[in-house]
Structure 1
Amino acid sequence: MSVKRTVATWTTAVLAAATLASCAESERDGGGEGGGSEDAGTFVFGAAGAPEMFDPFYATDGETFRVTRQMFEGLLGIEPGSAEVVPELATEWEPNEDGTEWTFTLRDDVTFHDGEPFNAEAVCYNFERMFDQNEAGQTAGEYWGYVMGAFANDAENSLYQGCEATDEFEAVITISGPTSGFPTMLTLESLSMQSPKALEEGDANGIAAEGEGFSFPAYADAPVGTGPFTFGEYDEANGEITLARNDDYWGDTAKVSELVFRVIPDESTRRQELEAGSINGYDLPNPVDWAGLEEDGNSVEVRDPFNILYLGLNPEANPQLKDLKVRQALYHALNREQLVQTQLPEGAAVATQFMPDTVSGYNTELEPYPYDPDEAKRLLQEAGAEGMELTFAYPTEVSRPYMPDPEKIFEALRTDLEAVGVKVDVKTASWNGGYLDNVTAGRYDAYILGWTGDYDSAYNFIGTFFGNLKENDFGTSAYPWGKQLADDLKAADAVVDEDERGAAFEEINGQIMEEYLPGLPISHSPPALVVGPGVEGVVPSPLTAEEFDTVTVGGE
C-alpha cells in the first residue's frame, strides 16, 4: 500500500498557522515543582484488563496504554481534558515550504529514567528503531503501519523517510508528502520517545511470532521513558503494576509517590473494591451505577463521546458477506435504538457512520439504518442467504469505552440476528488472550469491536479502518472497491485546505455507508471513570487518555 501524498496547493498561510500553533507553551513545563521527594501516598486504579507488555510501540489496546502513558512522552502531547495538540518534548515545530521536512526544536532539560540525555540523536534513534522492524515487529507495531504506511523494507511506500539531528536539540524529520495527520500523529502513545541505551541493551526489536501472538524481548518488561512515573514492577500473579514517581522529572513532579494499577476484569468487583477502599478509582463504571456511586460520595467523571462501536464483517471467512444485500440485511436486523437505551449510558447515540459528529468530515446528511426485521428477511431471501450461518464473536475480561459490557451487547445483537433467521455460532476469547489476535487473523465471520479516536482527525477513524489494505481491516481487500476506497482516503487526507478536506471526507463517509457498507457502525458512547472520596486532580479525557501525575489522594 502506498501512502505517498500529493497535493495541489500548500499555501504560506497554512504553514504559518501550523507554525504559530506549534509555539504554545506546554502545560507541563512547571520547573520541577510538585510532589517532591516526600511520601505523598499511593493512587490505586482498578484496571479492566491486563497489559500485554509495556513497550508502547507494540501496544494496541487501551489497558496497556493506560499504564505506558504515565511513563512515556512524545514530541507532541495532548492538552489534558481536550483533543488539542500541545508541545511536549518538542517546544516548536515548523515545516518547509512543501511540507516534506519538519524541524523540531527540543527541550534541553530532559533525561530518560536511566539518566541518559534526551536530544536530537535520541529522537532519530527512536524513529529509526520504529522504522526498522522484522516481520513480527511489523505486525505487532500496527500503529506505525496505520500512520506511516510501511517500514524500512518498503521504504518507498512509507510516509516516514528519515530523521537527521541537525543540532543537539534540533531534529528534522522528512516525510514523503504533506498529510493532515502529520505532525499530529506524534501525539500517539506508540510513537513515544524511549531511551536508546535501554532499547539497545534490552534487544527491544527482538520480537518474534509465537503461536497466535508474539514473544517480546526483555526490554518490554522494563521500559524506559521520560515521563512523570518510572516503571517499578509487574506482579502478574496478583495482577498488579506498580510505578514510582520520577523525582527528576523535567516538569511538575507527580502529586503521589506511587501509582498502582490493579487488574480487576469484572466491573462489579471493581465497584466493590472501590466501596471497600482498596482502590481509589476505576474506569468504565456500569451506567446503571452512576447515580448510586455519586450518592455514596464518589465522583463520576463523564467524558465526551469520541468513539465508535461497530460490528465488523469478514467476507474472506464467510463469502456470503460479500453480497451487499446480506450486509444490508444484517444492519436492518439490529435494533440499535433499543440497544443504546438499554445497554449504554445517557448521552449515547445510534451511529450513522464510522466516526462521531465532532470530527470534521462527519456527514450530517446520513440517516441511521432503520430497524426493519421484515426488510432484513426479504434481503436475505433475495440474496439466497436464508438461514445463513455466522461465526460471531465477542471479547471477555474487558470493558471498553464504546462497550461497557461486551457480553450483554453481544447478546442483544445476537438475539436480533437470530430473529431474522441467522444461525449464530458463538465464539469468545479474552481481550488480550486471543480475541484481538483472532480478529486480526480473520478467524471470525463477525465480531464486535470499536475505536476511540487518538486525535481529532477523520483519517484517524475511517483511514484506520479502510485505508490500509495490508491490514485487511473489515476484509476490504476482498471487495472490488477496496483499493479505490483506500486511494480515496489517502487523497482526501492529503488535501491541505481544512474545508475542502472535510468535504472530501463527508463524501467518502456517504459512499462507505450507502454504497459499500463493509461493516456495521452501532453507536457512540460517553464513557465515564469514577474516583473515591478524597481523590482530586483527575482530568477526564475525551480520548480516554488520562494522565495521573496531577492526582492527589486525601482522607474521606
Structure 2
Amino acid sequence: MSLQLLLGFRPAHRRIRPRTAGAVAVLTLSLLAAGCSGGGDGADDDTFVYLAGTGLVTEWDPARSYSDEVVALSNVYETLTRYNADTRRTEGVLATRWTSSKDRRTWTFTLRDQVRFHSGRPLTPEAVKAAIERTMRLKASASYVWDPVEKIVPVGKHQVRFELSRPAPLDVVASATYAAFIYEVCDDPKDYRATSRGTGPYTVASWNPGSEDELELTAFKDYWGGWHGKRYKKVIFQAVPQSSTSAQLMSSGAGTYAGDIPPQLLDTLRHRPNLTVYERPSWQTLIGLLNTRKKPLDDIRVRQAITNALDYKEIIKASRGALVASDGLIPEGMFGHTTTLDMPGDRARARKLLKEAGYGPGSGRTIKLEMTYPAGYGTVSTVGALMKAQLRPFGIDLRVQGLTWSSAQWPRAKKKNPEERQDIFVMWWWPDDPESLSYFRNVFRTEQEISYNLAYYSNPRLDRLIDRVSALTATDPREAVRTYRTMQEILIEDAPVLFLGTGTDQRVLSSDVEGFVDNPAYANVVFVHDLTHH
C-alpha cells in the first residue's frame, strides 16, 4: 500500500487519497453487452447495506485505484491469492496452487477452472498476463509490488509462470490490497469507468455520486463460487457522513455493517440484541510526519525533543479503546513486528534536547508548530488538543487545524516551498500488501517528487535497507526481521515521525450476519459473498 491514507480519525480508518470531486448528478453505470462488458442477473434479493463515508469511489480503474473504493472493488475484482492474517499464510482465490523455485525467482500459478469475467469470457493465463502487465506499465497505485517481475509466461491452458529479477514472496505480492486485481483488459482506457470487468461475485448496477445510496452492486449469476445458501444478492454502499446517523441506522436495522462509529457511540450499541460488535487489533498506524525541511524541525534535536515530550499513555487512554500503544511502525501480527524497540517518551531527555537547541522554558524562544488533519474527525481533534496541552510546558505552541482533504490539506502538503507546508501531518497508514515494506518504501524512502513522504525525509542508509529487505524476506527471513528492526531504529533516532498509536478495528454488524471475519490485511473490506444471513 494501501496508500494505501486515512488522515484524521475514526475507528474504521479509511485511507484518504487525492480525489476529484464527483458530479452531483446521478451517473448509472450500464453493464454493456458489447465490447468487454457484461452484467449480473439484476435480481433484487437480500441486501447487504454497508454504511460508508461520503465520496466512496474516486477511481474505477482497478490498476489505478488507491483509495476508499477498494471496499467495493474487492467484491467486484479478485486476486490470484488472499492473505489470511490469522494463519499468516496465503490462500487461493483465482489460483488453486502455486510453486516456486528454490531461489524464489520463478513462480508458477495454476488457475482455477471454470472462471469467467463479467463479460462471459473465460479467465485464461493470457488474461492474467495482460492485466498484470498493464498494471505494471501504468505505474500507478501500488504497482511497485510487481517490480521484481521481469517476464510473465502463459503455460498451457491453466498456468502462468513469473520470472523475477530478484527473489520475492510472489504469493504474498499476488494477494495485495491494491494493484493485484485481475481484470479484463480493454483498449479504451475510458471504458474502465464505464463498467466492472472482473471475475468477482458482484457487478456494478449503479453509481450515484453525491446521493445517499452512492453505489449498488448486484450478484454475478455465473460467479464460480456459486450462490448456494442464504447469500446476499445485492450490496449497497450508503454514504453516511455523521457517525451518530450510522449508529441510528444500525440500531433501527437499516444498516448491515458500519465501521465509522466512535467509541462513545459504540458503547451504546454493544448489548443490543440485533447487533454484534467485533473488535480486533488492526494493521493501521496513526503517525504524525514532521517536516524535516522546515525550521525548527530541520534540527534533529528539536524533532527528537518533540517525539519524547508526548505522553503516549495519556493519548492512548484518551482514545477510549480505539488506539493501542505503538511498538514501532510495524503493527502486531505483521512480519517484522517487535516489542523490544526503545520507543520515544523520555520527557527529561526532551527538556535536555530543547535546551541544547536553544529552546524550552527560560530560553525566551517559543516553538510554534502547525499540525494538520482532515476536518470532521472528532477523535483526532481530541488527540490533537491533548498533544497541544502536553507540549505547552516545553515551550512548544502547537496549533491543531482540521482542513478539507482534497482542497486544502493535501495540496498544502505538496507545495514546492517547504515553508508553505504544514509542520506536522497526521495520517493513518496501512500496508499495500501483507509485507511490511510499504510502511517504509512509500512514506520514508527518498522522493524527488513528493507523493506520500510528507516528512520530506531522506536517509541514504535507510533507502538501501528498504531496497534490499523484500528479497531478504523471501530468502533469509531472520535477516529480514533484523533489517526491519534496524530500519525502525533509524526512524526513532532521526525522529521524522510521531508514533501515536495502532488502531483497533471496531465494527458493528447486524446479528443476522454469519461468517464475518475481520482481516486486517484488507482494511475495511467486507468480502460479502463469504457471508450468509438467517
TM-score range, shorter chain: 0.7 to 0.9
1:551 aligned residue: 531
| Equivalent AA in structure 2 for residue 273 of structure 1 | L
Match 1:56 to one of 58, 62, 70: 62
Superposition deviation, residue 142 in structure 1: 3.3
Match 2:436 to one of 458, 461, 466: 458
The alignment partner of 2:330 has SS state of: coil
The range that moved more, 261-270 or 159-168, is: 159-168
| Equivalent AA in structure 1 for residue 187 of structure 2 | E
| Equivalent AA in structure 2 for residue 200 of structure 1 | D
**Larger RCO: Structure 1 or Structure 2 (Cα < 8 Å, ≥ 6 residues apart)?**
2
Contact preservation (8 Å) 1:284, 1:527: no
Q: Could you report, residue by residue, the CA deviation over 1:157-210 in whole angstroms, capped at 9, with x for unpaired residues?
A: x42323222323222222210134x3312111323444435x323x1xxxxxxx
2:221 aligned residue: 247
**For residues 485 and 471 of structure 1, what CA distance do their matches in structure 2 show?**
18
The answer to whether the aligner puts 1:505 opposite 2:484 as a matched pair is: yes
The alignment partner of 2:247 has SS state of: helix
Match 2:324 to one of 349, 360, 371: 349
The answer to whether the aligner puts 1:237 opposite 2:210 as a matched pair is: yes
Cα-Cα RMSD: 2.9
Contact preservation (8 Å) 2:445, 2:457: no
1:15 aligned residue: none
Match 1:306 to one of 268, 283, 306: 283
Match 1:493 to one of 443, 463, 470: 470
| Equivalent AA in structure 2 for residue 392 of structure 1 | M
Contact preservation (8 Å) 2:276, 2:511: yes
2:197 aligned residue: 224
**For residues 534 and 97 of structure 1, what CA distance do their matches in structure 2 show?**
47
Match 1:173 to one of 162, 178, 188: 162
Match 2:519 to one of 541, 546, 553: 541
**For residues 42 and 205 of structure 2, what CA distance do their matches in structure 1 show?**
16
**For residues 75 and 118 of structure 2, what CA distance do their matches in structure 1 show?**
12
2:35 aligned residue: none
Superposition deviation, residue 519 in structure 1: 0.9
Match 2:46 to one of 12, 28, 41: 41
**For residues 411 and 82 of structure 1, what CA distance do their matches in structure 2 show?**
39
Superposition deviation, residue 47 in structure 1: 0.7
Contact preservation (8 Å) 1:107, 1:169: yes
**For residues 210 and 455 of structure 2, what CA distance do their matches in structure 1 show?**
40
2:341 aligned residue: 366
1:390 aligned residue: 369
**For residues 297 and 235 of structure 2, what CA distance do their matches in structure 1 show?**
46
**For residues 410 and 221 of structure 1, what CA distance do their matches in structure 2 show?**
42
**For residues 491 and 117 of structure 1, what CA distance do their matches in structure 2 show?**
38
Change in 2 beyond 3 A, CA 1:111/1:307: same
| Equivalent AA in structure 1 for residue 192 of structure 2 | Y
Unaligned runs of 5+ in 1: 1-34, 149-157, 204-216, 399-403
For 1:374-413, list aligned pairs within 5 A: 375-384=349-358, 386-397=365-376, 405-413=379-387
The alignment partner of 1:231 has SS state of: strand
**For residues 404 and 533 of structure 2, what CA distance do their matches in structure 1 show?**
32
**For residues 45 and 354 of structure 1, what CA distance do their matches in structure 2 show?**
30
**For residues 462 and 122 of structure 1, what CA distance do their matches in structure 2 show?**
32
Q: Could you report, residue by residue, the CA deviation over 1:275-309 in whole angstroms, capped at 9, with x for unpaired residues?
A: 23322220142223334212222100112332211
For 1:37-436, list aligned pairs within 5 A: 40-51=45-56, 52-61=58-67, 63-79=68-84, 83-133=88-138, 138=139, 141-145=140-144, 147-148=145-146, 158-180=147-169, 182-197=170-185, 199-201=186-188, 203=189, 217-220=190-193, 222-239=195-212, 240-253=214-227, 255-297=231-273, 298-316=275-293, 318-345=294-321, 348-370=323-345, 372=347, 375-384=349-358, 386-397=365-376, 405-431=379-405, 435-436=409-410
The alignment partner of 1:294 has SS state of: coil
| Equivalent AA in structure 1 for residue 344 of structure 2 | Y
If the length of structure 1 is used for normalisation, what is the TM-score?
Answer: 0.78
Contact preservation (8 Å) 1:80, 1:541: yes
Q: Could you report, residue by residue, the CA deviation over 1:34-61 in whole angstroms, capped at 9, with x for unpaired residues?
A: x999754111110134221333322223
**For residues 36 and 222 of structure 1, what CA distance do their matches in structure 2 show?**
15
Q: Could you report, residue by residue, the CA deviation over 1:60-85 in whole angstroms, capped at 9, with x for unpaired residues?
A: 23x31111111110111134866531
**For residues 184 and 253 of structure 2, what CA distance do their matches in structure 1 show?**
40
Q: Once the two structures are aligned, what percentage of the paired residues are identical? A: 22
| Equivalent AA in structure 2 for residue 337 of structure 1 | K
Change in 2 beyond 3 A, CA 1:103/1:245: same
Contact preservation (8 Å) 1:110, 1:118: yes
Change in 2 beyond 3 A, CA 1:81/1:294: farther
**For residues 537 and 382 of structure 1, what CA distance do their matches in structure 2 show?**
57
Name the structure with the higher helix share.
Answer: 1
**For residues 326 and 343 of structure 1, what CA distance do their matches in structure 2 show?**
26
**For residues 438 and 163 of structure 1, what CA distance do their matches in structure 2 show?**
41
Change in 2 beyond 3 A, CA 1:103/1:426: same
Contact preservation (8 Å) 2:216, 2:234: yes
Q: Could you report, residue by residue, the CA deviation over 1:422-470 in whole angstroms, capped at 9, with x for unpaired residues?
A: 3445443345566456546674321111223455433243344334645
Change in 2 beyond 3 A, CA 1:476/1:357: same
For 1:434-473, list aligned pairs within 5 A: 435-436=409-410, 438-439=412-413, 443-467=421-445, 469-470=447-448, 472=450, 473=452
Contact preservation (8 Å) 2:117, 2:198: yes
**For residues 187 and 438 of structure 1, what CA distance do their matches in structure 2 show?**
34
Superposition deviation, residue 228 in structure 1: 0.8
Contact preservation (8 Å) 2:177, 2:433: no
Superposition deviation, residue 488 in structure 1: 1.3
Change in 2 beyond 3 A, CA 1:230/1:268: same
**For residues 171 and 441 of structure 1, what CA distance do their matches in structure 2 show?**
44
**For residues 155 and 392 of structure 2, what CA distance do their matches in structure 1 show?**
62
| Equivalent AA in structure 1 for residue 103 of structure 2 | D
| Equivalent AA in structure 2 for residue 73 of structure 1 | E
